[in-house]
Amino acid sequence: MVVWQSWGHVVFASMLALPVLTLAVFALARWRAWRGTAPGTALRRSLSEVGATAGTLPWLWMVLTPTSGARGVALVPLQDLVALLDARVATVVVQVGGNLLVLAAFGAFVPVRFAALARLHRVAAASAGVSATIELLQYALHLGRVSSVDDVLMNTAGATIAALLTRRWWAK
């Protein structure tokens, strides 16, 4: 319930955006097809671009929202994850599940769109770079959050797992 109270507005806004995003995919695909791109390729590219962006932005909204917590840095790998062993199940689900999902859309859709990133190690490296940037922003912007290496590891793992799920559609 606390998750809904904290982030329900993000979920609501994301749901409201779905029809607009659907229209954006088809309009972009139609424009690409009109410009000479094969219809299947136009749709795949449009869906992957809109999906990567729309699937990542709500998570960025959440993790870059200021809180009343103390700003901190956790640089010891796995320390935060080990600390979760004593936490309530709901806390573990929110922390681990949330961190796995932050860059999942990015990991799933970017290799579908960009052949240069259609290698698992490249998706992992790009995701790690994006995640490290997010953690640096959380610290630099004084958002009341702890910037953690474990978040980078979990965000990267989530993106990499999501990439594996879309592997058959990766750009060639």
- The residue ranges of every structural domain in the chain are 48-169
- Burial class of residue 86 (count of CB atoms within 10 Å of its CB; 0-12, 13-18, 19+): exposed
Mean pLDDT, residues 118-139 taken together: 97
Q: Greater confidence, 122 or 70?
A: 122
pLDDT at residue 3 tops 80:
no
Question: For the segment 12-39, what is each residue's pLDDT rounded down to a tens digit?
Answer: 999 999 999 999 999 999 999 999 999 9
Q: Greater confidence, 110 or 6?
A: 110
Question: For position 56, what pLDDT does the model report?
Answer: 97
Question: For position 159, what pLDDT does the model report?
Answer: 98
pLDDT at residue 1 tops 80:
no
Q: How far apart are CA 92 and CA 86, in angstroms?
A: 9
Q: Of 169, 45, 64, 160, nearest to 106 (Cα)?
A: 160
The model's confidence at residue 172, banded by pLDDT at 50, 70 and 90, is confident
φ, ψ at 74 (rounded to 5°): -125, 105
**pTM to 2 decimals?**
0.92
Question: For position 4, what pLDDT does the model report?
Answer: 77
Question: For position 70, what pLDDT does the model report?
Answer: 87
